[in-house]
Amino acid sequence: MSQLLENKQDILPSEEDIYLFHEGTLYEGYKLFGAQVITDQDILGVRFTVWAPNAKHVSVVGDFNQWNGINHRMTNVHSGIWTLFIPNLVEGDIYKYEIVTPTNQTILKADPYAFFSELRPNTASVVYSLDHYEWHDQKWIRDRKKYDSYHSTMLTYECHLGSWKKKDNGEFYSYREDADQMIDYVLKHGFTHIEIMPVMEHPYDRSWGYQITGYFSVTSRYGKPEDFMYFIDQCHQKGIGVILDWVPLHFCKDAHGLGQFDGTALYEPEDPMRSERPLWGTYNFDFHKPEVVSFLISNAIFWMDKYHIDGFRIDAVSYLIYLNHDHTLPSALKNKYGGDENLEGIAFIKQLNEVVFKNYPHALMIAEEATDWPLVSYPTDKGGLGFNYKWNMGWVNDLLRYMQLDTQDRRHHHNMLTFSMYYAFSENYILPFSHDELVYGKRSLLNKMPGDYWQKFANLRLLYAYFLTHPGKKLIFMGSEFAQFDEWKDIAQLDWNLLNFESHHKFNQFFITINHFYQKMPCLWKLDHISEGFEWIDPHNNEQSIIIFIRRGKRKGDYCIVLCNFTETVYHNFRIGVPSFGKYLEVFNTDLEEFGGSGQYNAESIRVEKEPYHNQPYSMEVTVPPLGVSIFMKQTKRRRREDFIYDK
């Protein structure tokens, strides 16, 4: 043991922290492990701590010792937890751990808990303190404790920072530069949240951050930690929440990363059948090891603590709860009871969600989960997995398959529109038009639409309006707001030049208008997750490919009627049932000429007749736009046409 450690027991890991780490309940491990800049009795330096239980020796190496670990060997203080205090090191010094494996090989590893890393292709960790940034989001932090996402608008803009916009020379914009141009853009378009594809350090640009080497290290591609803090701070000051994509399932095999960390399978299972993820060429995390559970849950808490993020979209949850989901191994894996469920993965998910909500009750914990596993978005004490939201990937799959059909064929597949209402309230759903739907040859939303150029845009307006009026919170991928024609190209910026073309410009104006319309319509989001917020008027009109339904808010009389026409036929004097007598106003129409439509709308208030129809006590006749959506509300003294979109 070094002389410093012999005399300074207070800089050693505490017995309690060591116990909790090995128990799988050390939830702030980032305060213990990694490179901690500390001052001990007026000696400024860095305490390094790392878990490598099977290593013969561990040293800290870097430029400060010419990458020779002889003079900076660490001490195994307890059960493979190695530590060393090195005086006079400062922020910005680079380092790695030199590990002698059980087979006497010497390997160099980046710090699993490093707060910052060298810019790729370099791979060393960087000594860094996260305590310098002065936050100004106190009001947001205070207000979000009272935020009720279930009964509020939640319209999320999913983005990849590396390809949203690029500089003329092809370089990335920094976190600060993105903050100064993206946040106002997001606000203008009516979004409430930004979801960022993973910003944890990763070696390969085209993995989009989903194959990580530095879970605690914000990627240096776009700047320093305080620059990302600035981005989040600015979002919060302007009323935008920030969600991070997070990947607790698997990690990449790069030599400096977590794989075979101490020369043995440490973060991954020892059994190659369980450690390998052939689909992505990665290693799975071993949730059977409590130290791995401590590592991952600490990481989730870290991003909320140090970066003030508001929640996570958890990647690939289906792979976490099933051993063989999309598995390509030669034989099926089984749990100890002979089943397909990943018992340790499920236990990890429940523990993760319990810990997050105990510390951050306001958090958004969103599961990307594609199976019929029940109660994903229910609390663990009610038998659920503990998330508060789940992506409705079944709805997206069905709807996009339906929308790609020729309009004359849609009548034969009408159930693809209506089936979602059988399960829409079984979970707290988010409807995601995410990057997964717009890459790898799947085409953009616009280019999925059938028909000529006009029909493609009309179909896309129809799709988007149905998306906004269907129960569930919303997410859409960047570029969709101006009808990007090509699928997402991750190595290039979005096709911003399309905004110079009339059709794309008009679609963008439609997008902005309907998003702000959605924001001020509580009946479209107050009761997203309970059946009282939705009522069919007519789900059965497959011959005309028309559906009609009611969305309701909490207050009596707060409702709207939504009519969607999925063919290019225009109907005049089209009768629909309504629940009350009086007059109705058309408050939104996707077919307005200013949006690029044909101008088929209901300009005047519509009188209701005492003629029952569609199982409603009254009815009225309306004009139905082609490939369009009309939204009607009851006329009142306080509700005037000029409050909506027609009188400019």
Same domain, 351 and 487: yes
Q: Which CATH number goes with the domain that contains 629?
A: 2.60.40.1180
Catalytic residues: 315, 368
d(CA 246, CA 317): 11
What SS3 state is found at 436? helix
Has residue 132 been placed in a domain?
no
Domain membership of residue 620 as a residue range: 422-431+453-475+497-648
d(CA 82, CA 583): 75
d(CA 307, CA 131): 11
Has residue 142 been placed in a domain?
no
For residue 238, pLDDT over 70 is answered with yes
Task: Tokens for 561, please give them.
Answer: 């009627």
User: CB of 508 within 8 A of CB of 495?
Assistant: no
The last residue of one of the domains, among 126, 144, 163, is: 126
Bridging pattern class, strands 429-433 and 81-87 = unpaired
Q: Which CATH number goes with the domain that contains 51?
A: 2.60.40.10
Query: Rounded mean pLDDT of the chain?
Result: 95
Same domain, 610 and 464: yes
d(CA 348, CA 288): 9
Half-sphere exposure of 129 (CA within 13 A, CB side): 14
d(CA 580, CA 189): 34
Q: Residue 10 — pLDDT band, cuts 50, 70, 90?
A: low
Has residue 138 been placed in a domain?
no
For residue 643, pLDDT over 80 is answered with no
Has residue 136 been placed in a domain?
no
Q: What is the structure's pLDDT at 552? A: 98
Same domain, 81 and 182: no
The last residue of one of the domains, among 126, 161, 187, is: 126
Has residue 175 been placed in a domain?
yes
Residue 171 is given by DSSP the state: P
Least confident range from 152-156, 164-168, 328-332: namely: 328-332
d(CA 445, CA 482): 11
H runs (alpha helix) in 189-266:
225-237
Same domain, 346 and 470: no
Q: What's the number of domains the chain is made of?
A: 3
Q: Which CATH number goes with the domain that contains 168?
A: 3.20.20.80
d(CA 270, CA 286): 9
Least confident range from 40-54, 210-224, 417-431, 463-477: namely: 40-54
Q: What is the structure's pLDDT at 639? A: 75
* Percent of the chain whose predicted confidence (pLDDT) is above 90: 94
d(CA 596, CA 492): 28
Has residue 137 been placed in a domain?
no
For residue 646, pLDDT over 70 is answered with no
Helix axes 175-188, 225-237, angle to 10 degrees: 20
Q: What is the mean pLDDT of residues 522-527?
A: 98
Q: What is the structure's pLDDT at 5? A: 38
Q: What is the structure's pLDDT at 4? A: 36
Same domain, 74 and 156: no
| pLDDT tens column, 43-63 | 899 999 999 999 999 999 999
H runs (alpha helix) in 247-392:
272-275, 290-307, 317-321, 343-359
Same domain, 97 and 167: no
d(CA 409, CA 130): 58
Which amino acid is it at 406?
D
d(CA 460, CA 597): 11
The last residue of one of the domains, among 441, 462, 496, is: 496
Same domain, 638 and 508: yes
Same domain, 173 and 46: no
| pLDDT tens column, 433-482 | 999 999 989 999 999 999 999 999 999 999 999 999 999 999 999 999 99
Same domain, 403 and 361: yes
Same domain, 480 and 370: yes
Q: Residue 9 — pLDDT band, cuts 50, 70, 90?
A: very low
| pLDDT tens column, 622-639 | 999 999 999 999 998 877
Has residue 239 been placed in a domain?
yes
Q: Residue 645 — pLDDT band, cuts 50, 70, 90?
A: low
Has residue 48 been placed in a domain?
yes
Q: What is the mean pLDDT of residues 408-436?
A: 97
Same domain, 185 and 238: yes
Same domain, 567 and 446: no
